[in-house]
Amino acid sequence: MIDTFSLVLSHLLMFILAVKIVVHPDVNTEPDVSGRHFKQVIPRARNEEDTGA
């Protein structure tokens, strides 16, 4: 009983860990922590420029 409970608990946590590794965004690349964040500039729509809105 103790053996089974311990095995199930640890393997459940290891399975959760494996799933977390799969969905973790920074496993293969280290995130940029330089503190410089750039605002993305999207080109304005052409009709918006034409109308001057």
- Which residues contact another protein by CB under 8 A? 2-11, 13-15, 17-22, 24, 26-30, 33
Q: Which is nearer to another protein, 10 or 48 (CB)?
A: 10
Residue with tokens 């109308």: 51
CB of 36 to another protein, least distance (A): 13
- The answer to whether 21 and 27 are in contact (CB under 8 A) is yes
Q: Which is nearer to another protein, 4 or 40 (CB)?
A: 4
Q: Which is nearer to another protein, 13 or 45 (CB)?
A: 13
Distances (CA, A) of 17 to 21, 23, 29: 6, 10, 18
